[in-house]
Structure formats: structure tokens, C-alpha cells
Structure 1
């Protein structure tokens, strides 16, 4: 017999999914920051090459933009961690996509920002791996 689902439970579950999605989106910040840094440096060196002169002002402007984009990306990623933890521990979100995105991005943090990225990526990675069994779908009863 199916019991009606309480609307408060549905709202809470949906809110938890939004929190998880927001956390994952913010946690990808370093990926975007490094991408923008790479594009910015390519553009800077292309402009220097096109001008034919290695202007220190042009180079310093490009480096400043690259560092700023990387810093903003890392800051966004660090802000994503509390959202991910709230979704995992508070709202008990156990969707497989949430698990895999969190694990992949945590591993990325550990590798891309070694050794400092370990402070962010490793605890999240360990937490998700230890709770891995909670993310498997229940076995279908025959």
C-alpha cells in the first residue's frame, strides 16, 4: 500500500537537490578558472607576438587577469564545499550523479592543486568513498 508523500518532504528533497547542484557547480570553479587563465595567457602572448615588442605592461596585464581568474575559480570551489557537505550530510542526497561528480571533482582538486588542493579535495573524497554503499540503488525484490 502506497502512502501519500508529505509535501514538506518533497520540498525538502527538492531543496537538497538544488543545494547539491549548486555545490557541484561551485566546486567546478577551478576548472573554469584554469581554462580562463589559459585562454587569457594565449591571448596575451598572441598580442605581444602581433605587436613585435615584448611590452612588460601587456604581459603584466595578462598575468594579472590569469591570476585573478584562477583565484576566483578556487574561491568559488571552496565555497562549493559547504553546499556539497550540506547536501550529503544534512539533506542526505544519495543520487549517483551527485556521488560521481563529487568524487571526480575532489580527485581533480587533489591532482591539479597539489599539495594545497589536498586540503579541500581529499576530505571530500574520503567522505564520499566511505559513504559509497549508500549511493548504490536498492536491490530489486523479485
Structure 2
């Protein structure tokens, strides 16, 4: 059996995704896009049960899925979806001295994500998640 293309080209795909995030947010580097994306993914997963998070991660490419689950604190209490401004502050709190996430960070990552996943599959899984999940990923 051959290695699936998703894994063979993971680095190229991840760089393209981060470039899309960088461009959407008008950032200078993919390093800045990485931190912003990590903050957005962490903010989202804090609002899901583990089973919900696994269903969501199954529609992500391998590289983004890895970032979504990396460094997960399973003891952290689940949060509720809030207004976008409050969740954006949460995104911006990740490594604040090195985080250039603009006010539009969640929307910017959502737009880039939708360009890099099967959007129909993403929408189907979002329908199974708590209220607020669809709004979180609206571009």
C-alpha cells in the first residue's frame, strides 16, 4: 500500500494554508500566521467535548489536524461559545509578545481553512457540533 497523498504532501499543503492565512490577515510572515492559527484552533477546541473535537478534526488535512490537537490540556474546563470579540481576545492571548492576530483573526483563519478543506464535509460536521460552532467558522 502506498502512503496517502495527504501525508506525502503535508508540508507543502501546510505551507500553502499558512500562506493563505497570512494573506487573509495581511500579516508579514507565515510564522505570524502559525501563531494566529494555533490560537484560533485552540479557542475553538476549548468549546468542544473530545468526541466533537475528533469529528471536527477528521475533516481537517493531516497538518492542520496535528496543530488542532497539539498541546491539548485535557484538564482545561470546557468553555461556551461567546461573541467573536471575546474569543478573538482569547486568540490574541496566546504568546502575546509574538502574536500579531488582528481583530479579524477568526474570520481570516476560517476563510483560509475553507479554501483548504472539503467545505461540504466541514459544513456537515459543524452541523453536529454545539451551537456557535458554525458561526465560529463563518468566513
Larger helix share, 1 or 2: 1
* TM-score where L is the length of structure 1: 0.32
Pick the structure with greater CA Rg.
1
* TM-score where L is the length of structure 2: 0.32
Higher relative contact order (CA 8 A, sep 6+): 2
